[in-house]
Chain A
Amino acid sequence: MSTTLVWSTITIYVVIAIVIAYLSRNGRQNSMSGYFLGERKLNGFVSALSYSATTYSAFMLVGLAGLTYNGGVGAFGFEIIYFMGVSLVAIFGPRFWLVGNKYGYVTPSEMLGDRYQNRWVAIVSAIASCLFLIPYSAVQLTGIGYLLQGVTNDAIPYTTGVIIATVLALIFSYIAGIRSVAWTDSLQSLIMIITSTIVVILIVNSLGGLSGFFASIEANDPQALAVPGNGFFNFWTFLGLTLPWFFFSISNPQVSQRLFMPASLKSMRHMLMGFLVFGLIYTVVSVVWGLSASILFPGLENADLATPMLLSSEVVPPILGVIVMVGIMAAAISTIDSILLTLSSLFSRDVYRNVKGDVDDRKQLLIGKIVIPVIAVLAFLFAQLELDLIAVLSVASSAGLIVVVPAIIGTFFWKQGTAAGVIVSVTISSILVIYIEATGGLLLGLKSGIWGIVVATVLFMVVSLMTQPPEQKANEFIDYIKERMKSKK
């Protein structure tokens, strides 16, 4: 792929995206809820595209394709289980939204802190999020680095790609906070879904249409169409990989924070349904992509190079290949900029404000804006370490966030839950997950995500039952939701 073509397409993308980011401003980004939540006024269409862009990162077309390349159709199942997990939005979404409006929450951790009536709950859950999401952002940066390096045959070195992405993520989050992020996200996901679908159609055609495509897989590697197949996806690996992703939509603050943003529940419905349609197409595209690569380029040493190989192959017209490539880069950026915003809001609202005490809205916003570049630099440094297979690390970070799931479920459904329960469960299970990840990723043959959810649930329940719940708040909070949800039979 010609380096000039790559550079010019990147330039065009940057110019258009910056213009859109500027146009998205409406002059009301001078408060916490204005800057980080778009004043809770996002419409369904933009929310859907932006939610998709934030969720589906470089991981999909690079990591998931790579996972499919290695393990076959099990990767599809993995992504479909995640997809089913997004249904949690249909249950938790309206509840987040209702209490967000009533109590003015800006972050999910703030909600936990208030619900359990303890600022340490907010602090601990915010710190846990930062701890796991910075590696996750780094994973996105790594994706871009590999991609640009792969398609240009090292003409754009790994580090250059990583720097470009970091800087763009910073710019998009700075211009108008969540509004510029949401609008540039929408641009990216629209272009991406169209172009990557075209690429898949071209590739499948070149393999002789759908029947030819499946026939070549059956001829080359029939095990790729079943699980456990070649053994890559044995059941326990599958469970360990999928469990954290199943809860992704409520455990990851960069997406659960989105549940505070829609203008109405109808907008949220559009967001959810739009996302599901988008997600299914994108999932199929990524998996077909990986399977095609395994037919066309068997024996790659690094599966993450499957996508770059496909894009620079003869089947794909160069200009289309370059657009998709820049689209993937944009996909990673759209994930990182959302994470940057979320983490900085968590830091200023939940950590700084709670530790410092009595910090007004304007000051919180200022602190948030100062923290954004700090987090970006941390992610950049992490990416420089060039850790192994993208998907695996990405899952490790969501395995870490799974530890807040019991506390979040308890927030809405269990009046007996207590602050001590949350703090103990989140702290100890986070440390356990990190320990497991640091010592090879398995404990007694099980992955960290399985341990994370089981240990966090047990600890949360046992410690809660031994301590005194904030009865008044719990009743007020849960009864309010019950009352409001009753009207929707």
Chain B
Amino acid sequence: MNQKEKFWGLIILLVVILGYVIPYTFLSDVTKWYGSFLFWSILAVITILANYFLTTDWSDEE
């Protein structure tokens, strides 16, 4: 894996781990829209951004 893949790969890995841990710990008693629902939505948006940056230089060479 090249440097860029390692960097963004780690970010995504972190996002995944947070996606498992936080809702089941800090947010397990927050029964509001700004609890797990919002948290997972934010992680999803971060995932999209990470993928965007990870693929910026994919070329159109066939």
A binding-site residues for B, Cβ under 8 Å = 73-74, 76-77, 80-81, 83-87, 90-91, 94, 214, 218, 222-228, 235, 238-239, 242, 246, 263-269, 272-273, 276-277, 280, 283-284, 485-486, 488-489
Q: Which 3 residue pairs spanning A and B have beta carbons closest together?
A: A265-B58, A222-B31, A266-B60
Is A218 touching B23 in the complex (CB atoms < 8 A)? no
A488's nearest neighbour on chain B, judged by CB, is B57
A486 pairs with B2, CB closer than 8 A: yes
B15-35 vs A, CB cutoff 8 Å, 1 = contact: the mask equals 110011001100111111101
Query: Interface of B with A (CB < 8 Å)?
Result: 1-5, 8-9, 12, 15-16, 19-20, 23-24, 27-33, 35-37, 40-41, 43-45, 47-48, 50-52, 54-55, 57-62
Which among A223, A227, A246, A486 has the highest number of chain B CB atoms within 10 Å? Answer: A227
8 contacts between A and B (CB under 8 A): A77-B40, A80-B40, A224-B31, A225-B31, A264-B58, A265-B58, A273-B52, A486-B2
Check A84 against B15 for contact (C-beta < 8 Å). Answer: yes
A226 touching B31 in the complex, CB below 8 Å, given contacts A83-B44, A84-B47, A264-B60: yes
Q: Given A83-B47, A84-B47, A87-B50, are A269 and B55 also a contact pair (CB < 8 Å)?
A: yes
- Whether A223 contacts B1 by the Cβ 8 Å rule is no
How far, in whole Å, are A358 and B61 apart by their CA atoms in the complex? 33
B4 close to A77 (CB less than 8 A): no
Q: With A and B bound together, what is the CA distance between A83 and B40 in angstroms? A: 11
Q: How far is the CB of B35 from chain A (nearest CB, A)?
A: 6
The answer for the CA separation of A157 and B37 in the assembled complex, in Å, is 37
Q: Is the CB of B27 within 8 A of A489?
A: no
List of A residues within 8 angstroms of B60 by Cβ = 264-267
- Give the residues in chain A near B8, CB-CB below 8 Å: 90
The answer to whether B36 touches A77, judged by C-beta atoms less than 8 angstroms apart, is yes
* Interchain nearest-CB distance for A67 vs B (Å): 14
Contact B51 A87 (CB under 8 A): yes
Query: Do the beta carbons of B36 and A73 come within 8 Å of each other?
Result: yes
Which B residues are CB-close (under 8 A) to A222? 31
